[in-house]
Amino acid sequence: MDRTQFLETLRSQLIGQMHEGKVAAHVRYYEDYIQSQVRGGRSEAEVLAQLGDPRLIAKTLLDTDADYGGEVYEDEQSYSGRGAYSDSESGQGRVDRRSYKLDLSTWYGKAIVIVIAVAAIIALVTIIGAVLPFFIILGIILFVISRLRRM
């Protein structure tokens, strides 16, 4: 099996099973990985043998895919092909890049928003309570000074 066959098998196993952007990102990832390893001096056959069966890779990707109803897949917009594997000898160390999205349809999402709102209100009241006496005193002083100038 060559690189083209590997990538086409991977793509065919993923198409229709996950969002098209994710499919494209996964295929680009493996394509870039293979190219970087070949540029690093390894043979294409050696790299493909190390990766294994693309059907098994596709199954693993599908099993670990968490599609949250249209959530934008990070690699769909910003895939650069860098940092995907570490420089370890085996090339098996993955860099974990996660982005989190607050889901307001869950109870804890709503609770987090409420806690943040209450904290913001408390902070605002505290700041106003600390600054207000200063401005009251400043206003009284300016009022007295303006009355003294009129005399």
| Statement: residue 71 has pLDDT above 50 | no
Instruction: With a cut of 80, say whether residue 74 has pLDDT above it.
Output: no
pLDDT band at 100 (very low <50, low <70, confident <90, very high): low
Q: Give 28's DSSP letter.
A: H
pLDDT digits (tens, 9 = 90+) for 16-57: 888 888 899 999 999 999 999 999 999 999 999 999 999 999
pLDDT above 80: residue 93: no
Is the pLDDT higher at 99 or at 4? 4
Determine the pLDDT at residue 68: 42
Number of C-beta neighbours around residue 13 at 10 A: 19
Residue 144 token pair:
């007295």
Is the pLDDT at 102 greater than 80? The verdict is: no
According to the per-residue pLDDT averaged within each range, which of 85-94, 106-115, 120-129 is highest? 120-129
For residues 18 and 75, what is the distance between their CA atoms, to the nearest angstrom? 14
pLDDT band at 139 (very low <50, low <70, confident <90, very high): very high
Q: What contacts 24+ positions apart, CB below 8 Å, involve 35-40?
A: 36/81, 37/91
Are the beta carbons of 57 and 8 closer than 8 angstroms?
no
CA–centroid distance for 32 within its chain: 20
